[in-house]
Amino acid sequence: MKDILIQRLSTYVQMDTQSDENSETCPSTPGQLALGKLLVEECTSIGLQDVTMDENGYVMATLPSNTDKDVPVIGFLAHLDTATDFTGKNVKPQVIDNYDGADIVLNSELDVVLSNKDFPELHEYKGHTLITTDGTTLLGADNKAGIAEIMTAMAYLIEHPEVKHGKIRVAFTPDEEIGRGPHKFDVAAFGAKYAYTVDGGPLGELEYESFNAAAAKITVRGTNVHPGTAKDKMVNSLKIAMELNRRLPVEEAPEFTDGYDGFYHLLSLEGDVELTKMSYIIRDFDREKFEERKTNLLHIANELKTKYGEKSITVELNDQYYNMREKIEPVRQIVDIAHEAMTRLDIEPVIRPIRGGTDGSQLSYMGMPTPNIFTGGENYHGKFEYVSVDNMVKATRVIVEIAQLFEQRGDI
C-alpha cells in the first residue's frame, strides 16, 4: 500500500492545481480540470461505477454495496486545488525512506532546511517514509494526500470483496482553498446521507467543529493634493486604513490566538493617498461572538465615515461558512464511528476544532453532515510541507474501517 500511495501522490502533486480567487470560472484554474480528468480515468480503471465529471470540475464516482443489509450511503471527499499562499508550480516531491530523525536538507543550493529546532514534531516521524518538497514550492499534500488515500481505499475494497460495505460515493471538488468548494456541488446527485472530508493534518485528527467565517473587502477613498499645498485639503486613504486597523483589538489576530479563540485577520493592504483596498477575514467558533465581530468592524467603519466623510469608506462583508458542529451534533454517531475506526486501528483520535474550514463546513449546511479526518501531513501551505506515508496508510485503513462499521451497524 505504501508504494501505491507514493506513486499516486507523486503523480498528483506534480500537476499545478492552485486555485485563483481572482478568477470567476469554476474551477478557477485549468490545472484542476486536468487532475479531474486524470481521476476520472483512474476511477474507471480501478472499477468504480457511475464515474462523472461535470462542467465545473466536480468528479463523482460510486462503489456499489456488496451487502444485503440496509446501510446508509456514505461519501468520502477531497479537494483538487492547492493553496494560494505559496507557489505550487513545478513541484518536485522528495521521498525519504526510514527517516533518521535528523534535520532534512530540502535544498542545499538555497540552504532550505527542515529542522527539528523549528519543527519539533519532526522527531515523531523517525523511521517513517516521508515525502517532502524540494524547498522551492509547497507539496500539495493538502489535499492530494486525501485524494490518494480515498483512491487507494476504494481500490482496496474492490480487490477485497470479503470486506462488506454499503454503497459508497466519492467526490473530488475544486476551489476549496478559496472557499468555493461546495458552491456548485450537487448534494442530491451525490446522494450520500453522511460524508467525510479526508482533509486533516497529523495522525488521528478528527474534526467536527469549524469557524464561523466572513470576508470583508474594504475600500478607502482619500483626496490627493500636491504635498506642498496639501494643508486642510489632503485626505490620505492609507492613513485612514491604518487607523481602522489600529482600532481592532491587537491581541485578536491569528498570531496571538489558538484553541477556541476567534480573530480578525488583515490579509492584504494595497493603496496610495487617493485609494486603498483592504481585505480581512473574520473568524469565531461562537456564532454570537462572530456576529459581534462583524458588527464591531462595521461600527468602526461608520465612525470613520463620520470623521472623514460618507464616501470615505465602503465595506463589502460576506459570510463564507458556519460552524458545522450545529449540523453534525444531532448525528454525533458519525463522529463516533470515525472515532471507533481509529481506535480499532490503534490510532489515538485527536478531537479538536478546525481553526479554518473544510468543504464539510458548507456541505453540512447543505444537508450532508460531513466531519473531517486526518491525511497524515504537516506544515501545509508552504515549502516545509511534508507527509508521512506510514500515516497515509493509516488514513487509508481508517476509510476502509469506517465503511465496515457502517455496514456492521446497518441503518443509522
Catalytic positions are 81, 176
Q: Which residue's C-alpha cell is 470479503?
A: 162
C-alpha cell of residue 153: 481505499
Contact (CB, 8 A) for 147 and 11: no
C-alpha cell of residue 328: 453534525
Q: How far apart are the first and last CA of the chain?
A: 31
**336 is an annotated ligand-binding site residue:** no
**142 is an annotated ligand-binding site residue:** yes
**111 is an annotated ligand-binding site residue:** no
**199 is an annotated ligand-binding site residue:** yes
- CA distance linking residue 145 with residue 227, whole number of Å: 55
C-alpha cell of residue 57: 470540475
How many C-beta atoms lie closer than 10 Å to residue 161's C-beta? 9
- CB proximity list for 34: less than 8 A, separation 6 or greater: 15, 17
What is the residue type of 380?
A: Y
| Per-residue 3-state assignment (H helix, E strand, C coil) for the chain | CHHHHHHHHHHHHCCCCECCCCCCCCCCCHHHHHHHHHHHHHHHHHCCEEEEECCCCCEEEEECCCCCCCCCCEEEEEECCECCCCCCCCCCCEEECCCCCCCEEEECCCCEEECCCCCHHHHHHCCCCEEECCCCCCCCHHHHHHHHHHHHHHHHHHHCCCCCCCCEEEEEECCHHHCCCCCCCCHHHHCCCEEEEECCCCCCEEECCECEEEEEEEEEECECCCHHHCCCCCECHHHHHHHHHHCCCCCCCHHHCCCCCCEEEEEEEEECCCEEEEEEEEEECCHHHHHHHHHHHHHHHHHHHHHHCCCCEEEEEEEEECCCHHHHHHHCHHHHHHHHHHHHCCCCCEECCECCCCHHHHHHHCCCCCCEECCCEECCCCCCCEEEHHHHHHHHHHHHHHHHHHHHHCCC
**381 is an annotated ligand-binding site residue:** yes
State the binding site.
79, 142, 177, 199, 381
State the binding site for Zn(2+).
79, 142, 177, 199, 381
